[in-house]
Structures are given as C-alpha cells and as structure tokens.
C-alpha cells in the first residue's frame, strides 16, 4: 500500500488565476502540504489521472479547457483510488452547491474563503482518506484470510477448485490440455507422533514452499486438506505434468526440513491426471483420477509419481479413494 503520510500530504491546486494559485500554494505549503499546480482543467485532469496522482485536490469551478465540476465527473467515472475533491467558486446559490456535489465533489467552499475553514475542511478530507484506506486494508485482509491457508500461506482448497473449474471452462472454449497433481506427504502421522505437532506444522509450511518453488508462476498451488496438496497446471500435457511432479518430488526429498525438533527427511507421493480436449472428464472426475493415481503411488511404495490412465483407456469410471482405504494405507507404514 502507498505510504499514508506521503499520499495525504500531496495536494493538487487547479486554478487559472495566478494570484489565487499563489495564495493557495503559500497557505498549503505553510500547513505542510506538498503542492502540485495545474493552470487549467485539462491539466488538472491529467495530473489526477496520472499514476502517482495526489488524492487531495482543490479545484476552481471556472477554468479554461474544463470546468472543475467536469474534472470531478471524469475522476469519479474512472476506477482510480478514492480522491477527496474540494471545489472553490464565487457561486453561492443552492442550485450551484447541489450541482457541484452531484458532479462528484466532496466539499464546496465559496470565494473569498476563510483560510482556517479551508484548513479544517482539508483535515476532514485527510480523515476520510484514512478511513477509506483502512476499510480497503481490512477488506483485503478478510479476502486473504478467506482464500489462503492460515498455516502455509498458500491458497486454500476453494481457490484450487476454482482454478480447476476455470481451466476446464477454458478448455471447453479453446481446446488444448491441462493437468493436475495431487500429492501427499508420506508418513506424516509418524512425523506428528514422533516430533510433535509444531514440527509437523513446520514440515507442512516448508513442503508448501518447496512445491511453490518447483512450479510455474501461473500454476495454482493449494492445500487440499491435511497433508495433501493440489496443483493445477494450465496447458500442461502428460509429459510436462510428470516432469513437474518429479521436480516437486526431488525438491522435497533432496534435503532435510529444519524444525525445532531437528532435521526431518521426507518424501511425497504424487498422482497426475491429464485432461485432453478430445475426451475431457469433468472437474470431479479429474480429481478422482488424480486421487486414484496418488493411491496407487502409495500402494507401490511411496516417494513416486503415478500418471492416471486417460479416461478412454480406463476399464471403468474413476472412483474416489475412500477415507477408509486412505487410512489403511497410512496405518500400514506409520
């Protein structure tokens, strides 16, 4: 987020009268503002639409090129961050006040203005900007909490499933292929039972980071549940997906994970499923295929990558691995 003090202390003054500009500039600098000057409405709009635009502005109503009310309207029509706009004018009729506020101005001050009143109104503007920033920050925190796993910091199950559905929808429109990888930490119950849950948490966090470092920036990694992770690989075919899965497997296995209980050497088992446009399974079926491939990797000894059979090659529809079957596999080698 932009530094609050830097943002709030920058202000635009737009007035075509040089005497008024100098008076305003002198007052604002005396009050500690960093002042930008615009000589007409068009220049004011350009500055307010610039990348580093100030978020406070004092606009004269009558200016060449574009009136202050028109500048307000154009700013409000854009998607830029909220700005506090104060109109200065000699007009004092109620209809003028209504027109100015309806154009998008936040406040209205008639000329000749009282310096202390202007100062007070700008302080109100700064408080409103601060409240706006706090609301945006709170919303972003809530959104992050709703979409990310609290322990590992990576996206949660819902985000991964949304990515999977988007890829399936894209495939329907554009053809092509994509893949998913479902992986599980081998003997994770043993880690918790032997080293304690804090060590288990450290293992989950580090494994998530190693997976993240092994995939492409536009792939989606999420914690699927417990010690399971899901990776969605856009455009990846079987060969590419298996290569990514092997890279993940090697990254986890290659060196011990540091925890408060000491270094822990781990492996993961991975199931890969590929969706080809010619005979693409739906999202749920693709998850079942990856889950079955992961189960097979566990049965065949763990620390390996298994590729699911293509849907047209499967002898029967893919079925989810039951919780009981998963528990049996885990218990056999715990």
At 61, list the tokens: 């109503």
CATH code for the domain of 106? 3.40.50.2300
Q: Find the catalytic residue in 227, 228, 315, 332.
A: 227
Regarding whether 220 and 78 lie in a shared domain, the answer is no
Regarding whether 173 and 53 lie in a shared domain, the answer is no
Residue at 93 is within a domain: yes
Name the one residue in this structure whose structure tokens are 């043993």: 190
What does each of the 334 residues of the chain score in pLDDT, given as a tens digit? 444 444 468 999 999 889 988 999 999 999 999 999 999 999 999 999 998 899 999 999 889 989 999 999 999 888 677 899 999 887 767 777 787 788 888 988 888 889 999 999 999 999 999 999 999 999 999 999 999 999 999 999 999 999 999 999 999 889 899 999 999 999 999 999 999 999 999 999 999 999 999 999 999 999 999 999 999 999 999 999 999 999 999 999 999 999 999 999 999 999 999 998 777 889 999 999 999 999 999 999 999 999 998 765 444 444 445 555 555 544 544 4
CATH code for the domain of 286? 3.30.70.270
Residue at 232 is within a domain: yes
Name the one residue in this structure whose structure tokens are 């109503």: 61
Whether 227 is a known active-site residue: answer yes
Of 278, 331, 277, 281, the closest CA to residue 311 belongs to 281
Residue at 152 is within a domain: no
At 207, list the tokens: 């494994």
Regarding whether 241 and 130 lie in a shared domain, the answer is no
Regarding whether 62 and 202 lie in a shared domain, the answer is no
Regarding whether 175 and 130 lie in a shared domain, the answer is no
Residue at 243 is within a domain: yes
Predicted model pTM: 0.71
Regarding whether 120 and 20 lie in a shared domain, the answer is yes
Look up the domain containing 203 and give its range. Answer: 157-332
Measured between alpha carbons, how far is 326 from 334 in angstroms, rounded to an integer?
A: 12
Regarding whether 186 and 106 lie in a shared domain, the answer is no
Domain count, the chain: 2
Regarding whether 230 and 110 lie in a shared domain, the answer is no
Instruction: Note whether 72 and 62 are within 8 A (CB).
Output: no
Measured between alpha carbons, how far is 256 from 3 in angstroms, rounded to an integer?
A: 40
Q: CA 242 → CA 5, 171, 211, 245, distances in Å?
A: 50, 20, 14, 5
Regarding whether 92 and 43 lie in a shared domain, the answer is yes
Regarding whether 142 and 167 lie in a shared domain, the answer is no
At 166, list the tokens: 């988007």
Residue at 302 is within a domain: yes
Residue at 142 is within a domain: yes
Measured between alpha carbons, how far is 8 from 28 in angstroms, rounded to an integer?
A: 12
Residue where a domain terminates, one of 126, 147, 168: 147
Residue at 283 is within a domain: yes
pLDDT at position 318 is: 44
Regarding whether 227 and 109 lie in a shared domain, the answer is no
Residue at 194 is within a domain: yes
Angle between helices 238-253 and 197-214 (to 10 degrees): 140
Regarding whether 172 and 101 lie in a shared domain, the answer is no
């Amino acid at each position: 987020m932009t530094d609050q003090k830097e943002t709030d202390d920058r202000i635009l003054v737009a007035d075509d009268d040089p005497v008024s500009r100098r008076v305003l500039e002198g007052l604002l600098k005396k009050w500690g503002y960093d002042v930008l000057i615009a000589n007409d409405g068009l220049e004011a709009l350009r500055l307010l639409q610039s990348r580093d635009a100030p978020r406070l502005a004092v606009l004269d109503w009558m200016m060449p090129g574009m009136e202050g009310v028109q500048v307000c309207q154009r700013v409000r029509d854009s998607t830029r961050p909220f700005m506090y706009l104060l109109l200065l004018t000699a007009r004092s009729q109620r209809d003028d006040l209504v027109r100015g506020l309806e154009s998008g101005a936040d406040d209205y001050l008639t000329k000749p203005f009282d310096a202390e009143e202007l100062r007070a109104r700008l302080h109100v503007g700064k408080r409103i900007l601060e409240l706006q920033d706090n609301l945006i920050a709170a919303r972003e925190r809530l959104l992050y909490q709703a979409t990310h796993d609290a322990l590992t910091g990576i996206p949660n199950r819902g985000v991964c499933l949304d990515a999977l559905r988007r890829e399936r929808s894209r495939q329907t429109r554009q053809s092509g292929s994509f893949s998913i990888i479902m992986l599980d930490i081998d003997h994770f119950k043993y880690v918790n039972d032997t080293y304690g849950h804090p060590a288990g948490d450290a293992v989950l966090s580090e494994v998530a980071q190693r997976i993240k470092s092994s995939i492409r920036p536009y792939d989606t990694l999420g914690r699927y549940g417990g010690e399971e992770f899901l990776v969605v690989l856009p455009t990846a075919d079987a060969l590419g997906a298996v290569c990514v899965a092997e890279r993940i497997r090697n990254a986890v296995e290659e060196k011990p994970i540091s925890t408060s209980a000491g270094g822990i050497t781990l492996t993961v088992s991975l199931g890969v499923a590929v969706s080809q446009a010619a005979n693409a399974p739906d999202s749920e079926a693709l998850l079942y295929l990856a889950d079955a491939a992961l189960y097979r990797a566990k049965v065949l000894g763990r620390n390996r990558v298994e590729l699911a059979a293509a849907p047209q090659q499967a002898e029967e529809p893919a079925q989810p691995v039951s919780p009981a079957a998963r528990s049996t596999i885990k218990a056999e080698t715990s």
